[in-house]
Amino acid sequence: MPHFSRPAQKKRTAADTTRPKPAAEPSSPLTTARFACTYPRLNALPLEGLPEVAFVGRSNAGKSSAINTLAQQKALAFVSKTPGRTQHFNYFAIPEGGRGTADTAAAGYLVDLPGYGFAKVGGQAERSHWGEDFAGYIAARQPLAGLVMLMDVRHPLTELDVQLLGLAPVSLPVLVLLTKSDKLTANQGRLEAAKVAQAIAQLRQTWRGGVVDETDTVTVMPFSSLSRLNVVPARHWVEQRLGFSSD
């Protein structure tokens, strides 16, 4: 009968024991998010004035993964292997003070909007309803305090992205997260973000009739749920819109 010896373990060196650990991320009220309610249509949404930050993007842009990453939860937003499965307005409540129990009153909401571009469920009439609800929500939803747009860094500013961006009021703060940026080098990600920001500024200038706005409300940054690139800055942006942070 053959004899198998245990492989010799490599001795730990001083370098191994002193190697710096990844910096801990600061605490965030977003990590206390909990599912609140789901609404099938725009006209069913509550009219209360609590601030909302909505997440939109093509169905394969990593929208649900981004929400889960920002909330530091594995399954807050449903991640489907089939693009286009989200059909409703899904509301996630942030408790007052960023902490509390299920009975604690909400201070604001994260809103997961239906993905666009790969409507796998329903017929043409259903997809038409989605388009109408998108337009109505983004253009005129009173409690909407910020819009997070998810775009695949390799295919940003598709025709649908541009159409949706054009619905947002000029005064509405918009954060564009270029997802899957771990597939690029850090320098490539920064260059791509700068290109997208410039393209959006030019689009919005055109929509304003050529007027230049030095206080544009659109922020663009590379983002990765896998490598956690810019997770903390993105969280901080959302926190500001919901009133949890003033700086």
> For 149-186, what is each residue's pLDDT tens digit?
999 999 999 998 998 899 999 889 999 999 999 999 99
More confident residue, 23 or 230: 230
Q: For residue 160, is it within any domain?
A: yes
Are the C-beta atoms of 155 and 66 separated by less than 8 Å? no
Q: For residue 21, is it within any domain?
A: no
Whole-number pLDDT of residue 124: 53
Whole-number pLDDT of residue 227: 95
Pairing of strands 106-112, 89-95: antiparallel
Percent of the chain beyond pLDDT 90?
52
Are the C-beta atoms of 222 and 181 separated by less than 8 Å? yes
- 36 Cβ contact list (under 8 Å, min separation 6): 91, 92, 93, 106, 109
> For 90-149, what is each residue's pLDDT tens digit?
999 999 876 655 567 899 999 998 777 644 444 454 455 667 887 899 999 999 999 999
Mean pLDDT for the stretch of residues 186-207: 94
Are the C-beta atoms of 142 and 84 separated by less than 8 Å? no
Q: 218: closest CA among 151, 146, 160? A: 146
Alpha helices (runs of H) in the chain, residue ranges in sequence order: 14-18, 63-71, 124-140, 159-167, 186-207, 231-242
Q: 76: closest CA among 44, 104, 119, 112? A: 112
Whole-number pLDDT of residue 173: 95
Q: What is the CATH number of the domain that holds 183?
A: 3.40.50.300
Q: How far apart are the first and last CA of the chain?
A: 70
Q: For residue 9, is it within any domain?
A: no
Q: For residue 167, is it within any domain?
A: yes
For 37, list phi and psi in degrees, rounded to 5. Answer: -170, 160
Whole-number pLDDT of residue 117: 60
126: alpha, beta or left? (left if phi > 0; alpha if psi -120 to 50): alpha
Q: For residue 10, is it within any domain?
A: no
Residue 219 has pLDDT above 80, yes or no: yes
When divided into structural domains, the chain yields a total of 1
Q: How long, in residues, is the chain?
A: 247
- 114 Cβ contact list (under 8 Å, min separation 6): 86, 87, 88, 89, 130, 133, 134
Q: For residue 111, is it within any domain?
A: yes
Secondary structure of residue 140 in the 3-state scheme: helix
For 149, list phi and psi in degrees, rounded to 5. Answer: -105, 130
Q: For residues 14 and 7, give the distance between their C-alpha atoms in angstroms, rounded to a whole number.
A: 22
Whole-number pLDDT of residue 129: 60
Q: For residue 4, is it within any domain?
A: no
Print the domain residue range for 214. 27-242
Are the C-beta atoms of 241 and 31 separated by less than 8 Å? no
Amino acid letter, residue 82: T
Q: For residue 170, is it within any domain?
A: yes
